[in-house]
Amino acid sequence: MVIKNVSLDIVCGVTSTLPENDRPEIAFAGKSNVGKSSLINALMNRKALARTSSQPGKTQTINFYNVNESMYLVDLPGYGYAKVSQAEKEKWGHLIERYLHGSKMLKAVFLLIDIRHEPSKNDKTMYEWIRYNGYQPIIIATKLDKLKRSQIQKHIKMLRQGLELVPGTQIIPFSSATKQGRDEIWELMDSILEE
Ligand code: GDP
């Protein structure tokens, strides 16, 4: 897709009513700091559309980015942030679940996992939630540039085993530093939107 215009159209907090869109949605999930804002900025060809974790006061909301008036890229709140209370974490969990369960226009969910580390308990729970709601998550293995080339296959295998991925699940390695994987993600998104 050629990005002509992007705008942050809708922001939903824990008490918000979720929108009833008539355009297809593609959602991105992942733990806090996994590189989700950096990925969204790379996909949108913008430097700072989505706020990155290094900026203080990042609120936990579902953000709907309107792309070319033809689709919504949906940024789900990052989970597993250590500095918030359990009660707060549960509220975000409910918000994410409400969205996955309720959205009628959601076409696909991408789950971001740091390629360097074993998936966490939260990552596994998120993977299960997405599947439970009837979606086959596509995995984006982030921060690819942090690994030596010789380590990549071993780490992909670690993610596959750690998350107990359904055979055939796609894993796309990505780096926001080099933009490797960006075109592949867009090709996949384009094919999902054409379905
Ligand atoms: P978010 O919390 O998931 O939105 O994560 P951010 O996009 O804010 O990224 C968290 C931190 O990881 C920031 O310091 C980013 O600069 C860094 N980061 C994100 N993606 C990459 C990547 O592909 N490679 C490297 N080396 N660093 C990254």
Average confidence (pLDDT) over 28-52: 90
pLDDT per position as a tens digit, 5-35: 999 999 998 888 999 999 999 999 999 899 9
Average confidence (pLDDT) over 168-184: 97
**Where are the chain's structural domains?**
6-194
Atom of ligand 1 nearest to the CA of 38: 7
Q: What is the pTM of this model?
A: 0.95
Instruction: Give the pair of three-digit tokens for residue 11.
Output: 């922001």
Q: How confident is the model at residue 58 (pLDDT cuts 50, 70, 90)?
A: low
**Mean pLDDT, rounded, of the chain:** 92
Is the Cβ atom of 36 under 6 angstroms away from ligand 1?
A: yes
Atom of ligand 1 nearest to the CA of 176: 23
pLDDT at 126: 95
pLDDT at 128: 95
Nearest Cα residue to atom 9 of ligand 1 = 35
Atom of ligand 1 nearest to the CA of 34: 3
Instruction: Give the pair of three-digit tokens for residue 163.
Output: 């998350």
156 contacts 119 by C-beta, under 8 angstroms: no
Instruction: Give the pair of three-digit tokens for residue 37.
Output: 């804002």
**pLDDT at residue 55 tops 70:** no
Q: What is the DSSP string of 154-193?
A: HHHHHHHHHHTPPTT--EEE--TTT-TTHHHHHHHHHHHH
Average confidence (pLDDT) over 79-105: 87
Nearest Cα residue to atom 21 of ligand 1 = 143
Nearest Cα residue to atom 12 of ligand 1 = 35
Q: Which CATH architecture has domain 6-194?
A: 3-Layer(aba) Sandwich (3.40)
